[in-house]
Structure 1
Amino acid sequence: MSPSPSFDSLQPRQFADALHALRERAPLVQCLTNIVVANFTANALLAAGCAPAMVDNAREAEGFAAISAGVLVNLGTPYEETAQAMRAAVRGAEGAGVPWVLDPVAAGAVPWRTSIALELLGAHHPAVVRGNGSEILALAGGQGGKGVESTAAADQAVDAAVMLARTHACVVAVSGAVDQITDGQRLVRIANGHPLLTRVTGAGCALGALMAAFAGVTGDALLAAAAATALLTVAADGAAQSSHGPGSFAVALLDELHALTPEALAARLKLA
């Protein structure tokens, strides 16, 4: 039996340093994402200090990926052309040594998008795979959730995440009440966040984009996925205190992403 992953892997100071690097370098992040969340994803990247580029056509995707710091491939609303663009972007990213993130939205629930996710995961090398519990279990051979909604808690998908991480030499990040992030050897658990995150369209998709951004500046995919998760969920904690519902929360979340300092991130981080 393979050894269980270690929990004592990252320290709060590393999260602060990662955010400092993000703000210093303002990475260009190419997002091939779904039509529902493109605007929110771009605004989240801008608020965090990044440069978003929503280039998702098959003619430009490969070349643009090669000049980006990180690339997000999100399967929220796939079309034939965008699927081709995703394949092209992955080729461009890997050819230029650019890290890319796979977000297999609703994997397991719908066959075609599941096949695309498995194709990209099996034939290429994402730095990070980010999903909810049901999506990660589906990539490991299980069933999907209720459309884009998970029917499995993040901790129920840890074994599948570890297996996927070891098989594909990547980081797997499982979003939930306590986020679980592993490279197959190390496991980071983050207990920040607020239920209002599940009432705003695009929060998880923005998280994938932030992971691509951090991957472009840290050189450590585990730290990138964990720092992005920490940034979004700590910002959510602050946003919830000043909001009255999903609408004001979405606005406050962007404000918190912009205002959160590296020092505050380290101080407010809750490692489980």
Structure 2
Amino acid sequence: MTSALVSSCGEQFDRMHRQSPLVQCITNYVAMNYAANVLLAAGASPAMVHAPEEAGEFAALASAVTVNIGTLSAPWLEGMRAAAKAANDNGKPWVLDPVAHFATAFRRKAVAELLALKPTIIRGNASEIMALAGDASSGRGVDSGDSVERAEASALLLARQAGAVVAVTGAVDFVTDGHQSARIAGGSELMPKVTAMGCALTGLVGAFVATAPATPWQATVGALACFSVAGTQAAAQCAGPGSFAWRFIDALAALDGEALQAQAQVTPV
């Protein structure tokens, strides 16, 4: 089973790279440039369209939508809701990144509204996923105070409650749809030292599911494996977080399905 899942990661990467899906990324303005460059390096076509006047219309054209609430405001939230609704109406998958959703009343209300719109995939750190499932967490702002292992039960519960794939990312990622689960190792301890890495990962998940909308769990595993392999490669050559950031993009650009299949560390649970 492990080899079949790892093979699927390589096949998914090659398909995504070949099809170059258009991914609407409503992400925070701290992350836009880096996230767009990550998607371009991986072979996707990012579009940072968030204005409420056009977000819904554009979502109907895109192959997938990603929503990140990092730098939330009322107009951006309106655009997020419009894009999520349009994605649903047009049968397009969409990904929710509930950044620090527990920090303020505004964020809690916003993420509740977005959850009600039934995201295909939810990606967050351990504290975000635990809090979203209704469990006590140790999160502080955008930083996780909890381990991925501690959040696995919460992820299973949330996946079943929301009817979504849930990805908890950290030192060893955990992905579940409530029925099947996997862990993905690799990456680098430098990743949390580079702004927008998590936001870029959400965009990459959107790119993978855009070309495999019928299998969102496998697509999410593939995206996280891709990210981890590129992170491992970048860390082997960098001098610190600054050079890691651009080496990571180079590693993604050089990656192919065969290399991903050979290096992915994916374990079904």
So what's the TM-score if we normalise by structure 1? 0.95
* 8 A contact 1:44–1:206 mirrored in 2: yes
Query: In the superposition, relative to structure 1, how do residues 266 and 223 fare at CA in structure 2: closer, same or farther (>3 Å)?
Result: same
| 2:160 aligned residue | 166
Please say if 1:249 is aligned against 2:244. yes
Question: Could you tell me which amino acid in structure 2 is paired with residue 83 of structure 1?
Answer: L
| 2:78 aligned residue | 84
Question: Could you tell me which amino acid in structure 2 is paired with residue 33 of structure 1?
Answer: T
Identify the range of structure 1 (171-180 vs 109-118) with the bigger mean alpha-carbon deviation.
Answer: 109-118
* 8 A contact 2:126–2:151 mirrored in 1: yes
Determine helix, strand or coil for the equivalent of 1:188.
Answer: strand
| 1:44 aligned residue | 38
For 1:180 and 1:72, how far apart are their aligned partners in 2?
Answer: 19
The CA RMSD measured in Å over matched residues stands at 1.3
| 1:64 aligned residue | 58
Query: In the superposition, relative to structure 1, how do residues 40 and 74 fare at CA in structure 2: closer, same or farther (>3 Å)?
Result: same
| 1:227 aligned residue | 222
* 8 A contact 2:135–2:154 mirrored in 1: no
* 8 A contact 2:225–2:260 mirrored in 1: yes
Count of matched residue positions in the alignment of Structure 1 and Structure 2: 265
Identify the range of structure 1 (137-146 vs 262-271) with the bigger mean alpha-carbon deviation.
Answer: 137-146
So what's the TM-score if we normalise by structure 2? 0.96
| 2:207 aligned residue | 213
* 8 A contact 1:211–1:224 mirrored in 2: yes
Give % identity: 44
Give runs of aligned pairs for residues 102-141 of structure 1, distance below 5 A. Answer: 102-121=96-115, 123-141=116-134
For 2:120 and 2:186, how far apart are their aligned partners in 1?
Answer: 23
Determine helix, strand or coil for the equivalent of 2:118.
Answer: coil
For 2:133 and 2:217, how far apart are their aligned partners in 1?
Answer: 20
How far 1:111 sits from its partner (Å)?
2.2
Unmatched runs of 5 consecutive residues or more in structure 1: 1-6
After superposition, what is the alpha-carbon deviation per residue over 1:174-204, rounded to whole angstroms, capped at 9, x for unaligned? 0011100000000110011110111000111
Determine helix, strand or coil for the equivalent of 1:72.
Answer: strand
* 8 A contact 2:225–2:266 mirrored in 1: no
Question: Could you tell me which amino acid in structure 2 is paired with residue 140 of structure 1?
Answer: A
How far 1:141 sits from its partner (Å)?
1.4
For 1:41 and 1:235, how far apart are their aligned partners in 2?
Answer: 14
* 8 A contact 2:56–2:83 mirrored in 1: yes
* 8 A contact 1:9–1:186 mirrored in 2: no
Q: After the TM superposition, which segments of 4 or more aligned residues of structure 1 sit over 3 Å from their partners?
A: 7-10
Please say if 1:267 is aligned against 2:262. yes
